[in-house]
């Protein structure tokens, strides 16, 4: 039987769909362990009976894809097969076309997001458009970008958080902690050298040792990765490390596409592009009156507002205990890859994590 190029693209796309949890194909690194505070309520809803059968979903997806132009199918395939690693343009499609799976109706963008990224996705309110998308911040009633890798899942912080992620404020200042004092002189030197003003600097650490120089960030968005097919930014894989620990080497290899750090009007967002969870601690993620800070677990494909400028300003109180003891805590975000830390982990402090980042914000 004669097969067109379009049919071949559609078949390849269907083979690259996101695995449904429990079908035997899901990558265990995709969602991590259950119970994380950033999965959000919608992500934990069990697969319902009205979601439609696999055969029904396949027939509908094929029908929808065969109506899309070949060039657009190629764009979608590039994004899906590279899992967002290759830079792909927007996929502009009609926003008002609805598709029905079982008893549930979805818009065309939602259908593609469910098929190729998140099978458990329920509503567009769970999503955040990435700044790499040309339609970011724009409203077009007729066309919308349907590129699944121009979207991220919005991280919902549960209240109260799981017990493992909360630990006392006293733990914040361990004896001889290296990350509370060393990066600041370097960051000031970057400003004095006459380089363009930076909005943050990033330090990469392996346990208690900083690896490489501080990375000064001027662009609104920064990719931090170990290995990325198409990407510019802070490449951790190019840094020479003297650490011989097998755990450090294993975690380094799992960083993969890493994270994307983006400065936006409301704050700084972190998008987890890797296949494993990341862990984040930031003073602006918590109640300003709280005497505890949380370590938030962020799963692959999720975004979280890791730093809020307005909250940071409100935390600058002269008599504030945390800021008098550690004046830079509110302007620093700490991120560990794969391995977490906190009260219910063997690692009490981030300086015991195999691979982690310190992001220091320039608020002047």
What is the arithmetic mean of pLDDT over 110-126?
A: 92
Q: Is the pLDDT of residue 224 over 90?
A: yes
248 and 354 part of one domain: yes
Residue 295 · residue 340 · CB < 8 Å = yes
Burial of 146 (0-12, 13-18, 19+ CB in 10 A): buried
Looking at the domain assignment, is residue 348 inside a domain? yes
For the whole model, what pTM was predicted?
0.81
- Percent of the residues in the chain that have a pLDDT greater than 70, as a whole number: 70
161: closest CA among 32, 287, 28, 335?
A: 287
CB atoms within 10 A of CB 262: 21
pLDDT band per the 50, 70, 90 thresholds, residue 157? low
124 and 206 part of one domain: no
d(CA 203, CA 183): 7
What is the arithmetic mean of pLDDT over 215-223?
A: 94
Range in 94-108, 124-138, 205-219, 261-275 with the lowest mean pLDDT: 94-108
Residue 363 is given by DSSP the state: -
State residue 272's pLDDT score. 98
State residue 296's pLDDT score. 92
Looking at the domain assignment, is residue 329 inside a domain? yes
d(CA 79, CA 91): 10
CATH number for position 274: 2.60.200.10
Residue 63 · residue 57 · CB < 8 Å = no
State residue 347's pLDDT score. 92
pLDDT band per the 50, 70, 90 thresholds, residue 46? very low
The secondary structure of 52-117, three-state, reads CCHHHHHHHHHHHHCCCCHHHHHHHHHHHHCCCCCCCCCCEEECCCEEEECCEEEEHHHHHHHHHC
How far lies 162's CA from each of 118, 292, 295, 296, 344, in Å?
Answer: 23, 13, 10, 10, 10
Q: Is the pLDDT of residue 319 over 70?
A: no
State residue 23's pLDDT score. 52
Residue 281 · residue 295 · CB < 8 Å = yes
Measured in degrees and rounded to the nearest 5, phi and psi for residue 342 equal 140, -170
214 and 341 part of one domain: yes
Beta bridge partners of 280: 296, 335
CA 94-9-13 angle, 5° bins: 75
pLDDT band per the 50, 70, 90 thresholds, residue 156? confident
d(CA 217, CA 201): 6
205 and 310 part of one domain: yes
Looking at the domain assignment, is residue 216 inside a domain? yes
Range in 3-7, 133-137, 216-220, 296-300 with the lowest mean pLDDT: 133-137
Range in 7-11, 261-265, 283-287, 356-360 with the lowest mean pLDDT: 283-287
State residue 290's pLDDT score. 64
Looking at the domain assignment, is residue 176 inside a domain? no
Q: Is the pLDDT of residue 335 over 80?
A: yes
Residue in the block written with tokens 């995709």:
30
d(CA 364, CA 361): 9
206 and 348 part of one domain: yes
Task: Tell me how many domains the chain contains.
Answer: 2
Q: Is the pLDDT of residue 175 over 60?
A: no
State residue 188's pLDDT score. 43
State residue 267's pLDDT score. 92
132 and 281 part of one domain: no
Q: Which residues of 170-203 are buried (b: 16+ CB within 10 A; e: fewer)?
A: eebeeeeeebbeebeeebeebeeeeeeebebbbb
What tens digit of pLDDT does each residue of 251-309 get? 999 999 999 999 998 899 999 999 999 999 998 887 766 666 789 999 999 999 999 98
150 and 233 part of one domain: no
Q: Is the pLDDT of residue 194 over 60?
A: no
The residue that leads in pLDDT, 133 or 157, is: 133
Q: Is the pLDDT of residue 213 over 50?
A: yes
142 and 215 part of one domain: no
Looking at the domain assignment, is residue 96 inside a domain? yes
Looking at the domain assignment, is residue 242 inside a domain? yes
> Domain containing 83: what range?
5-15+55-154
State residue 30's pLDDT score. 44
Last residue of a domain, one of 127, 154, 181: 154
CB atoms within 10 A of CB 344: 13
356 and 217 part of one domain: yes
78 and 142 part of one domain: yes
Range in 69-78, 178-187, 316-325 with the lowest mean pLDDT: 178-187
Last residue of a domain, one of 94, 126, 154: 154
Last residue of a domain, one of 154, 170, 187: 154
Looking at the domain assignment, is residue 166 inside a domain? no
Looking at the domain assignment, is residue 175 inside a domain? no
213 and 355 part of one domain: yes
32: closest CA among 294, 355, 296?
A: 296
pLDDT band per the 50, 70, 90 thresholds, residue 364? low
Greatest mean pLDDT among 135-139, 147-151, 282-286 lies in 147-151
The residue that leads in pLDDT, 177 or 352, is: 352
What is the arithmetic mean of pLDDT over 317-327?
A: 41
Q: Is the pLDDT of residue 95 over 60?
A: yes
275 and 335 part of one domain: yes
80: closest CA among 12, 128, 161?
A: 12
State residue 25's pLDDT score. 43
CATH number for position 80: 3.90.520.10
> What is the residue-averaged pLDDT of the chain?
78
């Amino acid at each position: 039987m004669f097969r067109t190029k379009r049919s071949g693209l559609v078949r390849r796309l269907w083979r690259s769909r996101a695995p449904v949890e429990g079908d035997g194909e899901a990558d265990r690194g995709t969602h991590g362990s259950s119970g994380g505070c950033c999965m959000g309520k919608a992500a934990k809803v069990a697969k319902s009976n009205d979601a439609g059968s696999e055969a029904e979903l396949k027939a509908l997806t094929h029908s929808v894809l065969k109506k899309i132009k070949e060039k657009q199918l190629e764009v979608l395939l590039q994004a899906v097969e590279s899992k967002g690693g290759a830079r792909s343009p927007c996929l502009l499609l009609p926003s008002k076309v609805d598709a029905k799976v079982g008893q549930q109706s979805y818009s065309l963008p939602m259908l593609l997001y469910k098929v190729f990224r998140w099978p458990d996705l329920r509503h567009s309110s769970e999503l955040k458009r990435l700044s790499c998308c040309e339609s970011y911040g724009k409203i077009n009633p007729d066309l919308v970008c349907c590129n699944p890798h121009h979207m991220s899942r919005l991280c919902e912080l549960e209240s109260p958080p799981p017990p493992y992620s909360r630990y006392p404020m006293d733990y914040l200042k361990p004896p001889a902690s290296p990350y509370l004092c060393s990066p600041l002189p370097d960051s000031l030197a970057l400003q004095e050298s006459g380089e363009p003003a930076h909005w943050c600097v990033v330090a990469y650490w392996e346990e208690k040792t900083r690896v490489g120089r501080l990375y000064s960030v001027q662009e609104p968005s920064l990719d931090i990765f170990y290995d990325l097919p198409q990407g510019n930014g802070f490449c951790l894989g190019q840094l020479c490390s003297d650490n011989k620990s097998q755990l450090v080497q294993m975690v380094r290899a799992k960083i993969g596409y890493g994270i994307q750090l983006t400065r936006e009007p409301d704050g700084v967002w972190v998008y987890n592009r890797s296949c494993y969870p990341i862990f984040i601690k930031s003073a602006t993620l918590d109640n300003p009156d709280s005497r505890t800070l949380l370590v938030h677990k962020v799963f692959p494909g999720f975004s979280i507002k890791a730093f809020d400028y307005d909250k940071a300003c409100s935390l600058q109180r002269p008599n504030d205990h945390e800021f008098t003891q550690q004046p830079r805590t509110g302007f620093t975000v700490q991120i560990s890859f794969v391995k977490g830390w906190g009260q219910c982990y063997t690692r009490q402090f981030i300086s015991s994590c195999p691979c982690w980042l310190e992001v220091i914000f320039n608020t002047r």
